[in-house]
Structure 1
Amino acid sequence: MQDAQTVTRNIGISPEDQAAIVDGLGHLLADTYTLYLTTHNFHWNVTGPMFNSLHAMFMTQYTELWNAVDPIAERIRALGCPAPGSYAQFGSLSSLPDAPEVPPKAEEMIRILAEGHETTARTARKLFPTADSANDEATADLLTQRIGAHEKNAWMLRALLEG
């Protein structure tokens, strides 16, 4: 996303580490935004006997995701780089597929979202060692929060598929 030359903040983190962290945060932002869009899409389009509970659960989850994108983008800015923000950038940076054009059945929605949270947790976890070794406590804290949120949401979704 950014090379080491574009990161110029003297905050005790080397330019090389800042660039690597910014790159990883760009991927996390893209995954988070893509998962937000998919979750909101499914909130609008869910049908079936679990409509009420899924409609409410999806709203809770997309609201949490929406509230997560700003701190990720602002951390990228604090590290001296522009945050990605276009659909094209998110499409190229995200590990997640776009939402299906035809809304799937409720059970498939649940599976897609559980996998999306697991993937996004892995994206955050992959960056953690870099942030940790660079003594970037602010990014490490953000990553810890995101990993916990994604693992909890994945667990709640997977629980609906059991039994």
Structure 2
Amino acid sequence: MKKKPVTDQASLLRKQRAPLVTPTDLDARATRDVAGAMNAILADVFALYLKTKNFHWHMSGPHFRDYHLMLDEQGDQLFAMTDPIAERVRKLGGTTLRSIGHIARLQRVDDNDAEYVEPADMLAELREDNLALAARLREAHEVCDKRRDIATASLIENWIDETERRTWFLFETARRSDSTGH
């Protein structure tokens, strides 16, 4: 039986312990603050993505097709945010989420594990979650402004617009035909 040289094992251990260093012109406080804000956003986006897909999978009723397709589209949009958020954190020299448990510790979006949820309640819950996400994105934008991170702030502006669009669609879809909107 051949033994691996000790130097190979020691080299491997050094590589595993090497910090993930990414050069940036932002100072350490900016990296810490922006990465912290964006990791919380990332956890919320993953949680909202899964809730949206949960409701998509469990949709029922006379408007099934329309709601099912809308939630599928919204889920795709949320999932498309995840990689750019995580990569932005890494570009700044931060580290990002590593597990479902990490997401659970940071998420501020409540899970919904109910056996059955009425379609109107699904739409209302997702509308409120998207409203809250927009507010949190604005808070993260303020952190970016304070730390002079223009690139992350620019991405956030687009995500706010997408989130407001999801909120609008959820609101209008759930509005009753006899409603005045007040």
For residue 77 of structure 1, the aligned residue among 90, 99, 114 is 90
SS at match of 1:63: helix
Match of 2:24 in 1: 11
Which amino acid in the other structure matches residue 51 of structure 2?
T
Match of 1:48 in 2: 61
For residue 42 of structure 2, the aligned residue among 2, 24, 29 is 29
CA distance in 1, matches of 2:150, 2:94: 18
Most deviating of 86-95 and 35-44: 86-95
**CA offsets 1:74-121 (integer angstroms, 9 cap, x no match):** 111111222113221111111110123323010000011101111111
CA distance in 2, matches of 1:12, 1:150: 30
Among the aligned pairs, what percent are the same residue?
A: 28
Deviation of 1:36 (Å): 0.4
Which amino acid in the other structure matches residue 78 of structure 1?
K
For residues 11 and 81 of structure 1, do their structure 2 counterparts lie closer, same or farther at Cα, with a shift above 3 Å needed? closer
Contact (CA 8 Å) 1:7, 1:15: kept in 2 or not? no
For residues 72 and 128 of structure 1, do their structure 2 counterparts lie closer, same or farther at Cα, with a shift above 3 Å needed? same
CA distance in 2, matches of 1:153, 1:85: 27
For residue 116 of structure 1, the aligned residue among 129, 142, 161 is 129
Most deviating of 81-90 and 67-76: 81-90
Deviation of 1:7 (Å): 8.7
Any gaps of 5 or more consecutive residues in structure 2? 1-18, 177-182
**CA offsets 1:15-59 (integer angstroms, 9 cap, x no match):** 101100000001100010000000111111000011010000001
Deviation of 1:160 (Å): 2.0
What is the root-mean-square deviation in Å for CA atoms of aligned residues? 1.6
**CA offsets 1:116-138 (integer angstroms, 9 cap, x no match):** 11111111110111211322111
Match of 2:73 in 1: 60
CA distance in 2, matches of 1:20, 1:81: 10
CA distance in 2, matches of 1:99, 1:78: 33
CA distance in 2, matches of 1:127, 1:66: 19
Match of 1:128 in 2: 141
Number of aligned residues: 158
CA distance in 2, matches of 1:7, 1:23: 16
SS at match of 2:30: helix
Match of 1:90 in 2: 103
For residues 51 and 87 of structure 1, do their structure 2 counterparts lie closer, same or farther at Cα, with a shift above 3 Å needed? same
TM-score when scaled to structure 2? 0.81
Contact (CA 8 Å) 2:26, 2:92: kept in 1 or not? no
Higher Rg:
2
